[in-house]
Each structure stands twice: as structure tokens, then as C-alpha cells.
Structure 1
């Protein structure tokens, strides 16, 4: 046995043996922890993604937040979403302490038709004809459940300050209500109400905004809201001022088919895994998130109540370029999926609602929307939503600038600042700003 190997006799040797055993135990525990942490952090990533270790660390942190949040909910301590919000707020506050403020931008928190908004006004007076300035109405992402600009000095606050400063624009960030406290269509209704209020000639006049130079924009779930609001404003004859451009950043545009090539290819790519997207959809719809396997089932797309004309609006075999379809095939209806048709029937009306799924809008509606900027990332489950919307808008006669990042991943634009800054995120911000500068 080990004590006899190292002991020559005497109390001192017994003592030394105890110390050795403690050190050996410490080494073993450290080794086990190191292997365990490494296993938890490691995620196979495509070679095209730069700074892979940083992305793995970010993804591990996000997954840990989700899992701890789920544990808190299981223990009855709180819903997992508020816990995650608080953790993200703390991390973003640390990032803001490291820098990123834009001096001179005036910020005020007000209400637009009872909807809280944060208004950013540039330091320069005027900018266009008659001293009028351009404007951007911005809807933040976060799966309709996370994110804000007024609650913490985070990435969205930094982005809005940068837009206001560089573009000499009035930027309005809408603090729409979030799931699980509310669910669809409340988020959409908040965003639409704020947009109608902002577009009133009197409000634009008070803010010295040129009514011919107003954009609507958003990322991820915010891109969903921006697209839906742009559609409604474009066909609402009671609104005299229309948006002049729409800028959508890796938008989520439908929840009916989570088996597109990008969902299949990127199902486990950080930071928006396929099952997480399904959970966000269910949170938005006010449905138990444990039912996320239903959304991942192909049976939704083949439900008998969906007419072929509507299904064609997301037929990616026709709408996607061949280079993005690659070797992927449509996923057939699963055996036994009829057993859950009753539950699917409860979800389908909302998933088919164009306010939740702007990709499903008719061509006549799409054709009235403003010219568009659509940013997509190769390694993002939402890639194909943006690419299909680009094609459908173009088919409807809308001018679209499609900006695709072959090394991009979901959320990258928000990670252009400490502590998780990525070069691709900085390039995305630069491209987004340049397009607005030239087209708004």
C-alpha cells in the first residue's frame, strides 16, 4: 500500500504520508474539476468562426445562467427569466464601467402613448434641410423576454448612443413589456403604439426630425417586431408619415418551421441553440416551455389546416439560394405526430398570425413596405428567416440590401464591447452604421 512505499518508519513519516495523501487528493480533485469544466465549455465550432474560445466561454456562461434559472424555477424560488435578466444586467453594467459612453448625447426616459421609451438626441443641432435630423426607432432583441436599454447601461444603450452620435439622429429605443409577464400580442402592440405616436407630425416636429428620414430597426426578436410594425404602418392609411427604411438584424420571422437548413446546420451553434429558440417562441406565445419539442417537430409545417398558398411563403426549397440549402432536405412528417395535433392546433393560430410571423405576409403587403437592410449570419439558426424575407421582399418589388457574414453568429453585433467583444461584431456595427448613413 502507498504508506509503506513511502514510509521508512517513525511518526514523521506517517505525518509526511498524510501530507502527501492530501496533496494527491487535491491534485485529483483539481484534475477532475478541470476536465469537467473543459467538457462543459467545449463546443465544436466551424473553422470559419474566429475567436472560438471566447465564443465557447460566452456560450457556457449563457447556458449556465439558463440552467441555474431553471433550477430556481423548479425550486419555486422565482421564474427563470427574471433571474437571467438580473445576471445579464450585472454583466452589462460591468462592461459599461469599462467604457463605451458617448459624450454629448442627451438621453431622456419618457412615455409614447403609455409605452416607456428612451430617447437619444445628438449633440449637434440640426443636420439636414431646415435643421431637421434623421431618426431611428429601435426595438431591442432578447427573445421577447430579455433586453432593455433603460434598465442598465448595456450593449443596446451603447449602440443607441453610437447611432445618435454618428448619424446625428434622434434614436428612440422602445421598452416594450416582456415575457413571461406578458405575451403575444402585447409586445407587438406596445411597439406599434410607440411607433404611431412617434410618427405623429407634432412629435417629429418637437424633436426636429425630418418626416422623410425615419427608420425602423431591430435585432433578433426586435427585428421581428420591426418587420411586423413596418408592415402594419405601411398599410395603415390613418398614419400620414411612413417609415422610409427598415433595418433588420438577424431577425426571427417565423416559428412554423424550425427545420430549415440553418436550423439543421446550426442547431448547436452558440449562442442561440435551436431548442433555446423554441423556448423563446413558447415564452412569447404564453405556452409552457416544456413543450418545446412540439415546435421542433416538422408536423407543424404539414398541419392539414395550413393551405398550400400560405405554406409557399416559407418554402425554403424555392426561396433560398442553393449555396445555403446545401445538402439539407425538408424534414418529413414524423410518425406519431398526429397524437399531438390537438396541442399543435392551439398554437397554430398564433404561429400563422403575420404580427408574430412577418415572413407569412402577402405580397401585396410586403410590396408597400420601405426599402430594407437585412443582416444575416452563416452560423445562426435564424439565417434562413432573413434570407427568405429578402427574397420575398425583392419578389414584391422592394429594394433590399442583403448583408451576409460568412463568419457571423447570432448576437455578434451586441458583442462589440468589453468583456465579450468580437471582431465580427465590430464589422457588423460598422456596416450597419454605414448603410444607415448612406440610405437614411
Structure 2
């Protein structure tokens, strides 16, 4: 079989809406992120993920700021049923640790609140390269601790989970590890929902080779993201950046997890590897792999014209919501 035939066969295996999304991006000659400045990359993400459409209605949405030494951390709190004291979920958005904010991932946070029957606390953590690793990790843990300590103030009741997609999935994996290692006043986390997380700075898996180019997130872009996020190569070996490198004694103390991976994603295999590492450590894990989807699919429910909406995003988000509801039963 020729390389062309193999490529056509792989394209045929894609979800039809995803295939149309990629064809639209190609027709528009969408720029390679690695050829953009940080500001241009942020603007590109904002343009794609903040369409001018009516959002899903959540009963109460409130912005607030929490204080930390030498910085403020912005939060957005989504409460689908004020007065019901639902469990809380601290959510970290994607964007390669350099982009994204409360606006670009507003639809994901709303979906998790509605489908998970929970109060979602979305975190606008600091971004690299202005604030390199471990700034985002510090903000993620701070926000989780704050949510645990102020549940009544934000209208939440018992139960706390973390969730995140892509770079935010990495943070959602790291925060429970930090809590497991702290012996004093650590937040009690009941579950973690990890949507196609980066778990290891290595670039050496089969999925990096198979999905290096042509499926939105490229291997080249991941190298670019990691380079801007970390202070140097040594940071890549730190479990707070690469949670797959944590000791099994740490993994064994983690809460149950739901890990999502996508077949056409360079990060697929490291997500699988993390789910397997958790299982080996005795952590209850549900692994949901979508063979025909690409990275970032959860944020593709409502896209600006001329991009098609990716209907499969609803299934991913419904499954994430179900995981949260089950975890809190």
C-alpha cells in the first residue's frame, strides 16, 4: 500500500465532522502555531473557541478573584442549581500552558456543570512564557485548596473533583499528586477527569509518529508548547510537569480517575500509559478512547463559521459528566 493510500484510509477513519473541520482548516490555510508569536497564537485560539453564539444556560455564573502572594487568580463559578449544594469540580482549561482563558473554554465549563450536576470552579491560571512552570501548577493547587476550604461560600456541598483538558488535563493530574504528598491541610479530592492530558515530556510514543501532522495538534506544536512552558529540559523530568513520572507510592494514594484519549492525537499513548500506571497502582480507572476523534474535541461543540460543529463532542462531555455524577454518588 502506498503512503497516499494509507493516508486516505486514515482520513476515512475520522469522524465525519472532524474530517470536515480539518478540511475547512486546510482550505482556510490555517497558520502553523509554531510560526506565530505567543500573542498571535493566543488570538488564534480565542478566535476559534469564542464564537458569537448563545451559550448553554447555567443558572448562576459568577466571576471572582482570589488573592495569593504577589498575584491574583481569576475564577469563574458555574452553579446549575443554586441552593442545592452540589459537589464542586475545579476545572483547568487547555491551551498548551501558553493560551486559553475563562472565555475560550466557557462552553466546556458550562457543559461539565450541567452534565455533571456540579458547581464548576474554572481557573484562569498564569500562562507561560511570562509565567513558566511551575506557575500554572501553583495556581491550580491554590484554586483547588480554596474551593475545598470555601465550598459553602460558593454554594457547593460535599464532594470535590478536578477536571481538565489537554494542558489543563495535565494540571488536573498533577494537583491530586500534590495533595497526596502534602501531609497537612491538603484538599480531599474524590475524582479526577483527565481529557487527553499531556503526561510525559518525551515525544517518543507511536502516537507521536502516527499523528505527527495533519490532525490539528501536531508533534511540532507540542514541542513548541513544552519549550515555552518549561524553564529548561530538567523541568520535563519533574512529575509536576510530567505526571507519568511520579512514583508509584504517590500514584497509589490518588483518587479514582476517568481518562479520555483520542485515536488521532499525538498525546494518545501517554494518556493510555497514565491510565495504565494508575491501574497498576491500584487506583480505580475508567479509560475512554475515541478512535475516530482528534485532540481538543470537547471544545468543538460550537465553532464559528465556516467550521462545522463536531457533534461527537457532546458524547465526550456527557461521558465526563456521567463520570462526575457517578463519583459523587
> Common fold, TM-score beyond 0.5?
yes
1:265 aligns with 2:220: no
**Residues 381 and 87 of structure 1: CA distance in aligned 2, closer, same or farther (over 3 Å):** closer
How far, CA to CA, are the matches of 1:358 and 1:351 in structure 2?
Answer: 10
What secondary structure sits across from 1:283 in the alignment?
helix
Q: Residue 196 of structure 1 aligns with which residue? A: 145
Higher strand share: 2
Structure 1 residues 18-42: Cα deviation after superposition (integer angstroms, max 9, x where no partner) = xxxxxxxxxxxxxxxxxxxxxxxxx
Could you list the per-position Cα deviations for residues 127-150 of structure 1 after superposition, in whole angstroms to 9, with x for gaps in the alignment? Answer: xxxxx311110010110011111x
1:373 to 238, 258, 275: 258
Partner of 1:9: none
Distance, in Å, in 1 between the alignment partners of 2:58 and 2:252 is: 40
Aligned partner of 1:284 in structure 2 is 229
Written as runs of structure 1 = structure 2, the 5 A alignment for 1:37-436 is 45-51=10-16, 52-58=19-25, 63-64=30-31, 66=33, 70=36, 80-93=37-50, 95=51, 97-111=52-66, 113=68, 114-126=72-84, 132-149=85-102, 152=103, 154=104, 156-200=105-149, 203-211=150-158, 213-256=159-202, 258-286=203-231, 347=233, 349-419=234-304, 420=307, 421-436=309-324
Deviations 1:76-122 (A, max 9, x none): xxxx11122224324434x2x22223152322232253322112222
Residue 65 of structure 1 and its aligned partner are, at CA, apart by 6.0
Distance 1:206 1:219 in 2: 26
Work out which of the two has the higher radius of gyration on C-alpha atoms and give 1 or 2.
1
* 8 Å Cα contact 2:58-2:79 kept in structure 1: no
Normalised by the size of structure 1, how large is the TM-score? 0.67
How big is the shift at 1:50? Answer: 2.2
Contact 1:137 1:171 in 2 (8 A): yes
Q: Secondary structure at the match of 2:39?
A: helix
Query: Cα distance, 1:61 vs. partner?
Result: 5.3
SS in 1 for 2:144: helix
Question: In the aligned structure 2, how far is the partner of 1:422 from the partner of 1:389?
Answer: 26
1:162 positional shift? 2.5
Aligned twin of 1:439: 327
Cα 1:192–1:241, aligned 2, differ >3 Å: closer, same or farther?
closer
The offset of 1:396, in angstroms, is: 0.5
Alignment of 1:9-48 (within 5 A): 45-48=10-13
TM-score, normalised with respect to structure 2: 0.88
Residues 133 and 168 in structure 1, CA contact (< 8 A), matched pair in contact too: yes
The offset of 1:436, in angstroms, is 1.5
Structure 1 residue 66, shift from structure 2 partner? 2.8
- Separation of aligned partners in 2, 1:177 and 1:147: 10
The secondary structure found in structure 2 opposite 1:251 is coil
Q: Which structure has the highest helix share of the two?
A: 1
Distance of 1:165 and 1:379 partners within structure 2: 28
Assess, with a 3 A threshold, how the Cα gap between structure 1 residues 232 and 103 changes in structure 2: closer, same or farther.
Answer: closer
Please, which moves more after superposition, 109-118 or 386-395?
109-118
Residue in 2 that maps onto 1:28: none
Stretches of structure 1 that go unaligned for 5 or more consecutive residues are 1-42, 71-79, 127-131, 287-345
User: Take 1:406 and 1:91, find their aligned partners in 2: how far apart are those partners?
Assistant: 24
Q: Which runs of 5+ in 2 are unaligned?
A: 1-6
Check whether the contact 1:65–1:84 (CA below 8 A) recurs between aligned residues: no
* Correspondence for 1:312: none
Query: Per chain length, whose mean CA-contact separation is higher, i.e. which structure has more relative contact order (CA < 8 Å, sep 6+)?
Result: 2
Offset at residue 380 of structure 1 (A): 0.6
Q: C-alpha root-mean-square deviation of aligned residues, in Å?
A: 2.1
C-alpha contact (below 8 Å) 1:140/1:147 kept by paired residues: yes
